[in-house]
Amino acid sequence: MESPFPCPKTVTVRRNPHRKARPTPSSTVPLPLPLSSPPIPPHIPSFPTPDILSVELSETQRPREIDSFSSSQNPKRKPESENLKVFLRIRPLTVSQNAHKQNKRGGEVVKNAWPKNPKAKHLPKNKVKNSNEICVTVNDPHSVTISPPSSLQESKRIKSVVYEGFSHVFSDESSQAEVYQKLVHPLVEDFLRGKSGMLAALGPTGSGKTHTVFGCIREPGMVPLALRRIFSEDKSNGNQVSRCRTFYLSMFEICSEKGKSERIFDLLQEEGEISLQQSAIKGLNEVTIRHAEQAESLIAHGLLRRATAATNSNSQSSRSQCIINICCTPNSNDGEFDDEPKSTSLTIVDLAGAEREKKTGNQGLRMLESNFINNTSMVFGLCLRSLLEHQKNPKKPLQKHFQNSLLTRYLREYLEGKKRMALVLTLKPGAEDYLETSNLLKQASPYAQIKFIGIEEPAKNKSTKRPTQVLHGAEHSKRMKFSSVEASSISKTAVFGDQPRIEETKDENGSLTEVLVESEEPVSCKVTEGIYIKQDRIELTKREREYQIMVNFAKALWDVLKQYKQKLEMAENEICCIRDNLTCEKRRSSDLEKEVRHLRLISSFPEVPSAGVSSSCLVGLCTGTDSSQDQNYQHNDQKDEKLRTHISIAESSQDLKDLEAVDMHSEDEATSVCIASQDCVKERCEEAAETAGLGQHFQRLKYDEEDHSSVNNIRTLMDVNNVQRDDKTTETEGTDDSEYGSSCLQLFVKNKETCVCSVEEPAISASPVITSCDNSSAVEMDPLPHEEKKLHPSATVMPRENASLVEDTRDCTALDTCSLDISSSRKTEKPKRRLLPASSTLLKDIGSVAVEDDIDKSKGGRGEKKVPLDTRNKSKGSTSLLRLLRNDLRL
């Protein structure tokens, strides 16, 4: 059963690697950094202009992109690599078909109007191919498929092969103009801009090389089209170009003499055999051309001289390699076009087509010619192959295949990749030409990978300016004269390409010397290649440095802009925060204003009359260690009767009538006692004192730090400020704090002993009135037994007037005495405090004080614990004070 779809033939794809696009300078521009911003720098550093300008390039530092950048800056210098362009042109299957097509297109039958070799008149005409089978199929403008004829497919199982990577594939219907536009036009434009170039046509015999290069009258080839293009520009510019530059045409062929040796003939002169010395052709006639018609006429005459012969493959088969040079040299006196390039050349080579003996049936002389042609084509191909392999693997040396033929010796610079060139492969699409076509594509398609690296155009300085080499008229005689004089020293003459006017000689030291030919006396200047290289290197380094500076400048600018942006964002955020805070503050201020208004409204009511008496606070005593415990004590007052820690606050003067005599000056003051922990006593006292303005009046009476760890030190602070504030709010509004007197009674109990301390109101007494309970204290404390002291601390407050009796011996003017009686055991239960009226507490405590002589105390039994040192040191004055108090209070 047959498949509905024909099974495709097996196809082998031979791919030439794609040429990689050159990195453009724009690709080297640093990309914006990722959005994740780095930590914001504290400040933006100054722009590093000095650092940027001090860029120094090292050999390893030079980026590859610099070359492209430099070349883009100077289009006349393109040191970057450029691939060899390989074009493919497919000839029509038969000429008759082509003529038919041409007739269809233009209505005229195309005939080759170029002069034919008269020898070919009697040669047999090409056999008309009966087979219409083709082996070449154009896939796209850059690839073709070569399919073997059916006979070969069946017998040898040869597969179809796809060849890719061509710059362009011209089908059999392509016109000369189309081929010119894509193949030669770029070369001509470069040539007019001062870039030398070469086009070589390769292909088997009869494939259309000569047709492509020279064409016919109706279909002029690449050479006449190029000439027309060159001079058309000149015409459009009013012959300005030809006035500034001079164009020369030279045409020669390389053929073999009976297949033994190669000979070079100048096709523009009769019997013009010339020779090749090194890479230069000696004696080549360069004809000055002024317009295209003249040049075409010269070429037509040259083609008549070219060796052709009729073969089985081609009735007018080229038997030689034909080379045409169009040379351009600017006029030396013209300064207007001083920037124009110097001595450029456009070379077009029509190679003789390789032949297969079986097919051509050549014999004898034709066969020898065929061997020469095939050998030259092979050497040409070997040179390119060696260049390609060398470029692929630099370890492989560049073979000197060029030495094996005159053509390759002449084209050495092109074949070594030093100058720009293009190849056009011509093919015959017939099935009988499959093998030639296949071999050519297999051999030549990889050439598209060849790169021309570091192509340097001739320098513009005067020393490199080449005079014309045209060997006609006076110049010819000059040359001959010079040659006769210096012939012995001339080792070689450079006439190729853009160096036809320089003759290189070797001096005694063996160094290379270039001799300018146009001078009667040869001007010798030691110009070695190194000089040019050095100059170019310096210029290149300069450009690279400038480029590097610009790159660094751009980077630094980018960084600075980025930092400024971050800073701007920060500032904006800050502004937002400040704005929010301002709004809150405004809101607060408005609230405060409302409150003030409210308070003023309240203050407008009649004032509560001041009591006019002192509201003093007597300090309660406590054994607690912190204020939080004090609060607990207050809450648990009823539970612990034993704990005799008293915190008494005199709320009104009526409660302290007994004490009015003692402290007459403290009527207005409010006294409170702040029981603070041992750790915060000092801070609290200082804070309270500072708040109340009593910093200089407030003194701690006594604090013995020696033994504070053994007993819970009880400190009682009179936080005057707190009480003052309380009183102030109750008594008057808007009164200054300083109006209130403040006093602070601080009691220290050390080692369960009662200390008496007093702080007098500073407003009344300028001097600090502090009575300490040290050894010289006026109050003589009767120490209790040790166990009792632990449990019953008590404090006795004494009237000031009584205390004043003993003030002659003390620093204090008043004395408030507190006796502490610690009676509660902290071991058993939590201490409780009961808030009692100060007067009752004082009376009670004073009554409980046992006034005894220190002597009696010291006479205690041996087993008794010794009285502490501070107690023993109680003076008689203190004892007397206590007695007086008792008497005065009638206790």
Ligand X SMILES: Nc1ncnc2c1ncn2[C@@H]1O[C@H](COP(=O)(O)OP(=O)(O)OP(=O)(O)O)[C@@H](O)[C@H]1O
Q: Residues comprising the binding site for ATP?
A: 203-210
Rg (CA), the chain: 61
Cβ distance to ligand X smaller for residue 314 or 758 = 314
Cβ distance to ligand X smaller for residue 317 or 823 = 317
* Residue 429 within binding range of ligand X, rule CB under 6 A: no
Cβ distance to ligand X smaller for residue 92 or 877 = 92
Which residue in the set 98, 625, 751, 871 belongs to the binding site for ligand X (CB under 6 A)?
98
Q: How far apart are CA 762 and CA 654, in angstroms?
A: 23
Q: How far apart are CA 42 and CA 652, in angstroms?
A: 63
* Residue 437 within binding range of ligand X, rule CB under 6 A: no
Which residue in the set 203, 381, 522, 837 belongs to the binding site for ligand X (CB under 6 A)?
203
Would you list which residues are annotated within the binding site? Answer: 203-210
Q: Token pair of 281, please?
A: 């052709």
* Residue 136 within binding range of ligand X, rule CB under 6 A: no
Cβ at position 414, least distance to ligand X in Å: 20
Residue count of the chain: 891
* Residue 879 within binding range of ligand X, rule CB under 6 A: no
Which residue in the set 197, 206, 429, 446 belongs to the binding site for ligand X (CB under 6 A)?
206
Q: How far apart are CA 146 and CA 494, in angstroms?
A: 43
* Residue 317 within binding range of ligand X, rule CB under 6 A: yes
Q: Helix, strand, or coil here: 635?
A: helix
* Residue 117 within binding range of ligand X, rule CB under 6 A: no
* Residue 302 within binding range of ligand X, rule CB under 6 A: no
Q: How far apart are CA 439 and CA 204, in angstroms?
A: 10
* Residue 316 within binding range of ligand X, rule CB under 6 A: yes
Q: How far apart are CA 190 and CA 422, in angstroms?
A: 13
Cβ distance to ligand X smaller for residue 226 or 757 = 226
* Sign of the alpha-carbon torsion through 303, 309, 312, 315: positive
Which residue in the set 196, 207, 376, 794 belongs to the binding site for ligand X (CB under 6 A)?
207
* Residue 211 within binding range of ligand X, rule CB under 6 A: yes
* Residue matched to tokens 């494939």: 207
Of 310-318, 435-443, 631-639, 666-674, which segment contacts ligand X by CB under 6 A? 310-318
CB 563 within 8 A of CB 44: yes
Site for ligand X in 658-717 (CB under 6 A): none
Cβ at position 205, least distance to ligand X in Å: 4
Cβ at position 207, least distance to ligand X in Å: 4
Q: How many residues bind ligand X (CB under 6 A)?
A: 20
Cβ at position 315, least distance to ligand X in Å: 7
Of 309-317, 696-704, 745-753, 881-889, which segment contacts ligand X by CB under 6 A? 309-317
Distances (CA, A) of 743 to 143, 164, 740, 794: 112, 110, 10, 21
Count CA atoms within 13 Å of residue 800 on its CB side.
22
Cβ distance to ligand X smaller for residue 113 or 554 = 113
For residue 573, give every residue at least 6 positions away whose Cβ sits within 8 Å of its Cβ, in sequence order, or none: none
Cβ at position 426, least distance to ligand X in Å: 6
* Residue 751 within binding range of ligand X, rule CB under 6 A: no
Q: What distance lies between CA 741 and its chain's CA centroid?
A: 73
What is the β-pairing status of strands 197-202 and 344-350?
Answer: parallel
Cβ distance to ligand X smaller for residue 264 or 322 = 322
* Residue 171 within binding range of ligand X, rule CB under 6 A: no
* Sign of the alpha-carbon torsion through 237, 242, 245, 250: positive
* Residue 430 within binding range of ligand X, rule CB under 6 A: no
Q: Compute how many other C-beta atoms are within 10 angstroms of the C-beta atom of residue 616.
A: 35
CB 327 within 8 A of CB 286: yes
* Residue 377 within binding range of ligand X, rule CB under 6 A: no
Of 198-206, 475-483, 642-650, 691-699, which segment contacts ligand X by CB under 6 A? 198-206
Cβ at position 411, least distance to ligand X in Å: 18
* Residue 370 within binding range of ligand X, rule CB under 6 A: no
Cβ at position 127, least distance to ligand X in Å: 13
Q: How far apart are CA 759 and CA 700, in angstroms?
A: 9
Cβ at position 317, least distance to ligand X in Å: 3
Q: How far apart are CA 778 and CA 881, in angstroms?
A: 7
Cβ at position 425, least distance to ligand X in Å: 11
Distances (CA, A) of 403 to 335, 348, 682: 41, 20, 110
* Residue 376 within binding range of ligand X, rule CB under 6 A: no
* Residue 145 within binding range of ligand X, rule CB under 6 A: no
Q: How far apart are CA 700 and CA 268, in angstroms?
A: 130
Of 92-100, 323-331, 616-624, 818-826, which segment contacts ligand X by CB under 6 A? 92-100
* Residue 644 within binding range of ligand X, rule CB under 6 A: no
* Residue 112 within binding range of ligand X, rule CB under 6 A: yes
Cβ at position 274, least distance to ligand X in Å: 22
Site for ligand X in 468-507 (CB under 6 A): none
Of 12-20, 89-97, 146-154, 330-338, which segment contacts ligand X by CB under 6 A? 89-97
Q: Compute how many other C-beta atoms are within 10 angstroms of the C-beta atom of residue 617.
A: 30
* Residue 445 within binding range of ligand X, rule CB under 6 A: no
Of 88-96, 578-586, 617-625, 723-731, which segment contacts ligand X by CB under 6 A? 88-96
Q: Token pair of 728, please?
A: 């102030």
Cβ distance to ligand X smaller for residue 230 or 303 = 303
* Residue 352 within binding range of ligand X, rule CB under 6 A: yes
Angle, in degrees to the nearest 10, between helices 222-236 and 185-192:
40
Of 135-143, 209-217, 607-615, 672-680, which segment contacts ligand X by CB under 6 A? 209-217
Cβ at position 109, least distance to ligand X in Å: 11
Cβ distance to ligand X smaller for residue 314 or 438 = 314
* Residue 210 within binding range of ligand X, rule CB under 6 A: yes
CB 356 within 8 A of CB 206: no
* Residue 283 within binding range of ligand X, rule CB under 6 A: no
The partner residues of 266 in beta bridges, in order of sequence, read 252, 272
Q: How far apart are CA 638 and CA 829, in angstroms?
A: 12
Which residue in the set 209, 305, 419, 728 belongs to the binding site for ligand X (CB under 6 A)?
209
Q: Which long-range contacts (CB under 8 A, 24 or more apart) does 134-140 make?
A: 134/93, 134/429, 134/430, 134/431, 135/429, 135/430, 135/431, 135/433, 135/434, 135/437, 135/438, 136/90, 136/427, 136/429, 136/437, 138/90, 138/169, 138/171, 140/169
For residue 737, give every residue at least 6 positions away whose Cβ sits within 8 Å of its Cβ, in sequence order, or none: 692, 693, 721, 724, 725, 728
Cβ distance to ligand X smaller for residue 120 or 556 = 120
Q: Compute how many other C-beta atoms are within 10 angstroms of the C-beta atom of residue 741.
A: 24
Q: How far apart are CA 279 and CA 281, in angstroms?
A: 7
Cβ distance to ligand X smaller for residue 176 or 386 = 176
Contact footprint for ligand X (CB under 6 A)? 91-92, 95, 98, 112, 203, 205-211, 314, 316-318, 352-353, 426
